[in-house]
């Protein structure tokens, strides 16, 4: 089946620094990738949708200047949390969708736990 990887799996950083999270589709080309954020014991909240070679579409309330998304190739999307603060601590999950298939289900990465001190 389709595999999506994320790196790193966890990261601890100081307040004010920037953190980059990578999402890769390992065995398929993903024209569309999604970034979700999950708070403890809560659901996944969609942050943004990215398409290869174009700007990401952010959900209402998500600061695009703070959460920079780059989808430079069909197998890689990156999320950079700029000037991170403790309230950005969360579990970030990416998801990728292959271009073929009617339902085009989404495949999820294992997640990245970010802790900002």
Partner 1 sequence: AQSVAQPEDQVNVAEGNPLTVKCTYSVSGNPYLFWYVQYPNRGLQFLLKYITGDNLVKGSYGFEAEFNKSQTSFHLKKPSALVSDSALYFCAVRVIISGNTPLVFGKGTRLSVIA
Q: How far is the CB of 99 from partner 1 (least distance, A)?
A: 8
Of 5, 29, 21, 18, which Cα lies nearest the Cα of 83? Answer: 18
User: 87 in helix, strand or coil?
Assistant: helix
| Min CB(6)–partner 1 separation in Å | 8
Pick out residues in 63-102 that bind partner 1 (CB under 8 A): 91, 93, 95, 99, 102
Nearer to partner 1, 13 or 45 (CB): 45
Compose the 25-64 pattern: x for residues touching partner 1 by CB under 8 A, - for all others.
------xx-x------xxxx-x--x-x-----x-------
Is residue 45 within 8 Å of residue 62, measured between CB atoms? no
DSSP assignment letter at 86: G
Nearer to partner 1, 39 or 83 (CB): 39
Provide CB contacts within 8 A for 76, sequence distance 6+.
Answer: 22, 23, 24
> How many residues would you count in the chain?
117
CB atoms under 10 Å from CB of 54, counted, come to 8
Contact residues toward partner 1 (CB under 8 A) are 4, 6, 31-32, 34, 41-44, 46, 49, 51, 57, 91, 93, 95, 99, 102-111, 113
């Amino acid at each position: 089946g389709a595999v999506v990887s994320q790196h790193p799996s966890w990261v601890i950083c100081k307040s004010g620094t920037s953190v980059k999270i990578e999402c890769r589709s390992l065995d398929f080309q993903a024209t569309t990738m999604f970034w979700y954020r999950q708070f403890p014991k809560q659901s996944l909240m969609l942050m943004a949708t990215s398409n290869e070679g174009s700007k990401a579409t952010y959900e209402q309330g998500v600061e695009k200047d703070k959460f920079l998304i780059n989808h430079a190739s069909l197998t890689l999307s990156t999320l950079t949390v700029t000037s991170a603060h403790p309230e950005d601590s969360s579990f970030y999950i990416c998801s990728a969708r292959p271009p073929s298939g009617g339902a085009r289900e989404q495949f999820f990465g294992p997640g990245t736990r970010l802790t900002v001190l």
